[in-house]
Amino acid sequence: MSTKVAFITGSAKRIGASTATYLHNKGFNIVLHCHHSVSEAETLLVSLNSQRENSARLVVANLCEIDDLGLLAEQVVGAFGRLDVLVNNASSFYPTPMGDITQSHWHDLFGSNVQAPLFLAQHLAENLTVNKGVIINMVDIHADRPLQQHTVYSMAKSALVTMTKSLAIELAPDIRVNGVAPGAILWPEQALSDADKKKVLQQIPAKTLGTPEDIAQAIHYLCEAKYVTGQIIAVDGGRSVVSSHKV
């Protein structure tokens, strides 16, 4: 099969679903992934396959269960018999104020944001090498400037940035590894007050939220940019160059 295949973790909704749709429209076959959001993932699966027959598959797995990642990788490769792009998009995100941090928070936030991307990359490296593939990790502008009361999350994203740069060296020249650092794209599922939303927008030179399609475009660029590796591209309307932000 000559059609390129992209596997996107956490692709049932939000940025993951937009990325899957965007790459599918660019001609990729897509392996979708979800854990809890099975209904949304199945709806997207039907939509993609209705546009182009047998162009999408779905795998369901808990990425925090490290012993299951090898089997997941086998399912991903078996879906179409090849793999060209791994997008580590799935991510838990919530506050962990000091004094309230638990081992469960650590397991979940590091499991989804660091452990799964690392071990999926390891399990899938052989297949990505065959096709001179690419790994794209979804990091965060808060990897460099920690988000208040989100210490564990910010630590995990910082580790993912380091992993991205390290694997870009270790897996070269056969696999390129890059990251995308979204700024304010969608309001978090945990509700923000109108005052907090206003504060965020004031910190963005572009004075507006981005869209999931903005992230998908950056990911597609990195899929095709043959001489780009080890880079983190901020898609944030200029927010990361502002001197400080807390929300």
Which positions are annotated as active-site residues?
Answer: 153
The token duo for 83 is 């793999």
Contacts of 109 (CB under 8 A, 6+ apart): 92, 93, 96, 152, 153, 156
Contacts of 164 (CB under 8 A, 6+ apart): 135, 137, 139, 177, 178, 179, 230, 232
Calpha distance 235→50 (Å, rounded):
31
Q: In this structure, is the dihedral angle defined by the CA atoms of residues 52, 55, 59 and 63, taken in order, positive or negative? A: negative
Find the farthest-apart pair of alpha carbons in the chain and give their distance in angstroms, rounded.
53
Nearest to 87 by CA among 185, 186, 183, 222: 222
Give the distance from CA 19 to its chain's centroid: 9
Calpha distance 107→5 (Å, rounded):
30
87 forms beta bridges with: 8, 136
